[in-house]
Structure 1
Amino acid sequence: MGDAAQTLHGRCLCGAVTLTVQTENPRLRACHCDMCRQHTSGMFISVDTLPGTLDVQGPAQSFASSEWAERGFCGTCGSTLWYGTVHDGVRHPAAGLFEGTALGEMTLEFFADECPQGYALSGDHQKLSTEETIAMFTGDDA
């Protein structure tokens, strides 16, 4: 494990939901799939966290958006809180909830081939196609 763990404190837009999580490096990941764009009106950006350290307090709700995923949101203001994988219960919190995470390094884009023409992320990081992303989340390398 490289860097020392640090605690991030976040909140939704209205402050009804608070989140605390541990990270060794607040690296960022972006998703351009249709559902993320529909849910956020743009790409969904999550922050890398240490497994099992996310603590969510307040009126958080989730929606089963596919066979393998859920999306969390504040029951009061509707802020996007997380993208979660159902098979392992892991939740990937939205980076915008935590002050300063915009300074984190972008390390990975999911569904990069679905990124709208209106924007693109700069930098030299891994960009997975739709096929590669689905294989990663479903464990189907075929």
Structure 2
Amino acid sequence: MSQAVQMSGKCLCKKVTINAQKVTPHVDACHCAMCRKWSGSSLLAMDCGSEVVFEGQQYITTYDSSEWADRGFCKNCGTHLFYRLKQTHQYNIPAGLFDTDVSLEFTTQIFIEEKPDYYEFANKTQMMTGEEVFAAFGGSE
């Protein structure tokens, strides 16, 4: 596994700034129906752990999307800011929000059984079903 790095970024209107202290420098794709509905396609996100600071809190709204997670977005411009696990407060943040020159690697695709047929990534990645995700990381469906 790659060593964690510090990264920062902003939403589209720049009213929310994200500072993540321990970002794992790899990108993962989630193909679950909820992520596809939320993002318009698969969600390409990075594991940022729980050490994340947001400036512009007054512009952040959250949506309680499941028993185990909520999703945050900028209420001014609508930018998707995070998917956060409730139990561990672990943030997964869309990769495109970060301003970076760090080399990133696309490593894993999850909920692969829910991926629609109309797209396919060429990258060779680890593929996990939803059942495998819940078994590996705990929680329930």
TM-score range, shorter chain: 0.7 to 0.9
1:55 to 53, 61, 70: 53
Gaps of 5+ in 2: none
RMSD, aligned α-carbons: 2.2
Letter in structure 2 aligned against 1:43: S
User: For 2:29, what is the secondary structure of its paired residue?
Assistant: strand
Distance 2:135 2:69 in 1: 14
Residue 21 of structure 1: CA displacement?
A: 1.1
TM-score (norm 1): 0.85
Task: Provide the rounded CA distance (Å) in 2 between the counterparts of 1:115 and 1:136.
Answer: 20
User: Which amino acid in structure 1 is aligned with residue 52 of structure 2?
Assistant: L
Please report how far the alpha carbon of residue 23 of structure 1 lies from its aligned counterpart in structure 2 after TM superposition: 3.9
The separation in 1 between residues aligned to 2:47 and 2:11, in whole angstroms, is 18
Give the C-alpha shift of residue 64 in structure 1.
0.8
Q: 1:44 to 1:139 in 2, by over 3 A?
A: same
Aligned pairs for 1:1-142 within 5 A: 3=3, 5-23=4-22, 25-49=24-48, 51-58=49-56, 59-100=59-100, 104-139=104-139
Percent identity between matched residues is: 35
TM-score, normalisation: structure 2: 0.85
Aligned length: 138
Shift of 1:6: 3.4
Residue deviations 1:25-76 (CA, integer Å, cap 9, x gap): 5200110111101111011111133x33211111112111011111111111
Closer, same or farther in 2 for the Cα pair 1:88/1:24, shift >3 Å? closer
- Displacement of 1:139 in angstroms is 4.2
Please say if residues 45 and 94 of structure 1, whose CA atoms lie closer than 8 Å, have aligned partners that are also in contact: yes
Aligned in 2, Cα 1:92/1:101: closer, same or farther, shift over 3 Å?
Answer: farther
Q: Deviations over 1:82-116 (max 9, x none)?
A: 11111111111111101347951111111011111
Q: Which residues of structure 1 form unaligned runs of 5+? A: none
Higher strand share: 2
